[in-house]
Structure 1
Amino acid sequence: MEGKTQNGGCGQADGRSTAHRHSSSDRFLINQRLMIKTSSQKLSTTARKAFANAGWVFFDRIFRMATALLVGVWSARYLGPSQFGLLNFANVFPTVLTSLAGLGLANILVTEIVRKGDYSENQLLGTGFILRLIAGTVSLFIITVLVHVLYRDQPVLQAMILFTSSVLVCQSVDVIDLHFQSRVKSRLSVTAKSIAFVLSTLLRVYFLANHFSLLAFSSVVFVESALSALILILIYNREEDQHIRQWRFNGALAIRLLTMAWPIMVADFFIFLYMRSDQYMLKELANDLELGKFSAALRLSEVWYFIATAITSSFYPTLVNLKTQNEASFQRAFRKLLSLLAFISILIAVFISFAAPYLVALLYGRQYAGVDRILVIHIWSAVFVFMGVGSSYWFVLHNKQRILLAKTIVGALVNILLNLVLIPAYGAIGTSVATLVAQFISAYFINYFITSARPVFYAQSAAFADVFKPNFIRSLLKQDP
């Protein structure tokens, strides 16, 4: 009896212990499920807000596209291929140095504002503004010296380049845009930039109607960037109940931001270098006619890139929050984002491939014959541009900015080497092939050969596979992005 009682006691103790372990395990599983459920609900709510935010960016860009089809094509017809190519060439210098003037701070600042770390938002905005203002001024000075040396005998081209380069200084105010992005309020940025765009477009129409010179058209870039900066400041002061006078520069924060951002800055520089070196190399290795045709194709190809930026930047605050809360939800959201970008980019590429001959004939006329063949090749670069934009945020969140730099340098070298080989033989078509190959390698293929980046390669590959699944559209609409 005693033994039995002891055994029974032990059995009861074991039962209670087992029950306790089961209870603890059940509570753990329940808590995990609640966390995942809460994260999914939060993602669903934030995703709707992000889609609405992206909608404002879409509205802005679609409005600009529609206007560009009228005013831009009118300009192309009025100026002709050679002068139109020269006008676009004036944008090459500031575009290449845009990354240096921006210092690669965009994603870093948004991340820091969302995370609410050791520094206040006024310190982040003030420090970012001063850093970008100094960098923009230095970049403008560098361009001034370069154009004076390279184009000493072309004063009109010098003036055109200086007008277009003014954006490097004005873009320092875009830290306000980053503030709006962090709060998913892109409608405020869109409002400011749309007003500036409308006013500058009216000025372009006036110049076209009254047959102004090429120099006058390049000055519109300065007018638009200055107006956009001014209106952004006015809206920020009014809508946010704050004032830029509250911004503060912090030396320690400046060093921290530059330490984090310099790989992105250099990577962005190489991206613009190999995206815009095409035009410079066409001018030097071919002629202004080929440059004009390539520029016309770019207008119909690169105009779609904003979609990738709009979608990704709108979802980025959500990804930052999910990364700190639930890794599984973050991975699902990241995969869904890449799948959405893959689907949209492939859809655009297929549409333009079939519509290119009709679009070019309708918009540009006979003097731009052959642009459709350039466009059909170049538009497929958009697929890898979209995937590159979407995955770049993964590298920032995992503090692997140096991998972005390495990937971009490889892409730039591939593009430049292929241009040297292909442009003399094939002109603008060769440049389009070089761009496509470079984007494929830099944004996607090379990820497989970098151990730390291999998860991105697998996520991108899975996203491409998702696009061709029969139920892709239904699953995309049903599940959280």
Structure 2
Amino acid sequence: MRIPSIPGFDQQAFEKYLKNTGWLMLAKVGVMLVKSVVTTFALSNYLEASQFGILNYPMTIVTFSTAIAALGLDGFVTRELISRPEKKEAYLGTAFILRLLAGFGTLPLVYLAYHIINSAKPLQTPFHYVLIVAFIAVVQSVNIIDSFFQSKVQGKYIMYVQLAGNVLSTLTKLAFIVLKLPLIWFVYSLLLDAVFVAGSYLVMYQLKGNHIQRWKFDSSIAGYLLKHSWPLAFSAVLNTIYMKIDQGMIGTYLEIKQLGIYSNVANLSESYYFIPLAVVSSVFPAIMHARNTDQERYYKRLQNLYDLMVVLSVGAAIVLSFGSTYIYHWFLKREYWAGAPVLAVYVWAGVFAFLGVASGQYLIAEGYTKLAMLRTAAGALVNVILNIFWIPRYGIMGAAYATLIAYGVAAFFILFIPRTRGQGIQMLKSLFLISLFQKITNR
């Protein structure tokens, strides 16, 4: 089967890059399908909206703890393993211990956060639900094995792990639904999801002739990793605030039923966010090559990438926005129908998310990592401020508009920086279809 061409990119080179990342793309497609079919529809229809809200609330707290516990090590360890493969056991063992300790260290933070929020407004989600899910941060320490497979460019093994974990997760949730088990079982299933993936990583690592028994902790490497990875950890926390704070604030300001409806909207809206990551991973090597050899082609390829992101995201937004009522009325029970107009707004945030991912590659190529963190911080700040004012007044619709504006601010933050303003203008040309129109008329 021929892979569709992307204007401005050499077809043969693009297919080569795409094949290198194809396994990762397939894994993300599997994750998307599982999330959409099981979580958005089957599980939502099984649980009442209030129960679905109670189930999702622990993740609004735990998402922050998992971001902290990861310590920003994954990408950095991958880079180090590429440079120093002979120190595999030392790097993996050290990173594992650091993440494991950090995972346990976040448990008191989760306890403190829950009780601070609960003192302001009594929560309907019991603390032991949150504590169960909080152990995800501990279990995910094993996932540092992902860095090893990434460093070896062995994406197919990551695919096997992702598919195995998600198949087990899907079967478990479906079995719980068929058996008509109570809510607490689905709370445990959130932790089981992490256990399945971690276990799959361990099995795959061992099957490929490696041995975790050889891992060792090196204090000098630990200091080196922590010294260089903290900006990535801080950025991950900011990104979590930027993307997930709305659900946490809904659980604080509104009834838990509203969080259930909004969580369903978010799951559906974000189900295709794997697409920009897959595309930019495929074309990024071509963009970097152009940057080093031909500046004019470099900027042309970036413009083509922005155009593609707009076409894909706007197309998906139109379908989900105008079809939101039909989707909810056909596939979800009546108490979730209030989410249809919210979906019609929320889904347009995807346009800015796609452009943000694409422009993020430009920031990486130019070495503007601090600016990337700053734009995320700007989006997080806007999201928090708008939600404080709009959720009490407009409910979950206010949260949807806050997300839309925050994503827009983050994506186009580069307009306010002189050295990146040119890229912001290129993105605007794509957003308003100016660039695409010029290509059509030139032909």
TM exceeds 0.5?
A: yes
**Is 1:61 matched with 2:31?**
yes
From 333, 339, 345, the equivalent of 1:371 is 339
Query: How do 1:89-238 residues align onto structure 2 when only pairs under 5 Å count?
Result: 89-114=57-82, 116=83, 120-147=87-114, 150-151=117-118, 157-238=126-207
| Greater Cα offset, 406-415 or 46-55 | 46-55
1:414 aligned residue: 382
Distance 1:52-1:77 versus aligned 2 partners, 3 A rule: closer
Closer, same or farther in 2 for the Cα pair 1:209/1:243, shift >3 Å?
same
Counterpart contact for 1:151–1:158, Cα < 8 Å = no
Distance 1:235 1:410 in 2: 40
Contact 1:196 1:228 (C-alpha < 8 Å) held by counterparts: yes
1:50 to 2, 16, 20: 20
One-letter amino acid of the counterpart of residue 405, structure 1:
M
Listed one character per residue, the Cα deviations across residues 87-109 of structure 1 (whole Å, up to 9, x for unaligned) are 11121111122321222233334
Contact 1:378 1:432 in 2 (8 A): yes
Counterpart pick for 2:324 among 342, 356, 359: 356
Aligned partners of 2:135 and 2:191 also within 8 Å: yes
Q: Which moved more, 1:370-379 or 1:331-340?
A: 331-340
Q: Which amino acid aligns with 2:63?
A: T
Gaps of 5+ in 1: 1-38, 476-481
Residue 92 and residue 237 in structure 1: after superposition, are their counterparts in 2 closer, same or farther (change >3 A)?
A: same
CA displacement, residues 316-336 of structure 1 (integer Å, 9 cap, x when unaligned)? 5x3797489647476565555
1:395 to 332, 342, 363: 363
Assess, with a 3 A threshold, how the Cα gap between structure 1 residues 70 and 94 changes in structure 2: closer, same or farther: closer
Greater Cα shift, 278-287 or 228-237: 278-287
Q: What one-letter code is carried by the residue in structure 2 that aligns with 1:440?
A: G
Aligned to 2:259: 291
Counterpart of 1:211 in 2: which secondary structure?
coil
Q: How many residue pairs align between the two structures?
A: 429
Please state how far the C-alpha of 1:375 moved relative to its aligned partner: 0.4
How has the CA–CA distance of structure 1 residues 99 and 42 changed in structure 2, closer, same or farther, with 3 Å as cutoff? farther
Provide TM-score, normalisation by structure 2: 0.84
Letter in 1 for 2:76: I
Report the alpha carbon displacement of residue 358 of structure 1 after superposing the two structures with TM.
0.6
Q: Which position in structure 2 is the counterpart of 1:15?
A: none
How far did 1:54 drift?
Answer: 4.3
Match of 2:6 in 1: none
Unaligned runs of 5+ in 2: 1-8
Indicate which of 427, 446, 450 corresponds to 2:417: 450
Distance 1:396 1:129, change over 3 A: farther
Once the two structures are superposed, residues 385-424 of structure 1 have per-residue CA deviations (whole angstroms, 9 ceiling, x without a partner) of 1222333344345443322222222212211111122112
Could you tell me how far apart the structure 2 residues matched to 1:320 and 1:138 are? 41
Change (3 A) 1:91 1:118: closer
CA distance in 2, matches of 1:471, 1:180: 40
Please state how far the C-alpha of 1:179 moved relative to its aligned partner: 3.1
Whole-Å separation in 2 of the counterparts to 1:191 and 1:453: 39
Conservation of the 8 A alpha-carbon contact between 1:415 and 1:435? yes
The farther-off stretch of 298-307 and 448-457 is 448-457
The structure having more radius of gyration, on CA atoms, is 1
Deviation at 1:438, TM superposition (A): 0.7
Backbone CA RMSD of aligned residues = 3.3
Distance 1:456 1:366, change over 3 A: same
> Which letter maps to 1:417?
I
How far apart are residue 217 of structure 1 and its match?
A: 0.6
Percent of pairs with identical residues: 27
CA distance, structure 1, for counterparts of residue 363 and residue 93 of structure 2: 25
Q: Distance in 2 between matches of 1:93 and 1:342?
A: 32
How far apart, in 2, do the equivalents of 1:54 and 1:335 lie? 25
User: How big is each residue's C-alpha offset from its partner over 1:60-109, in whole Å with a ceiling of 9 and x where there is no partner?
Assistant: 234414xx425642322232111111111121111122321222233334
Shift of 1:452: 4.1
CA distance in 2, matches of 1:458, 1:406: 19
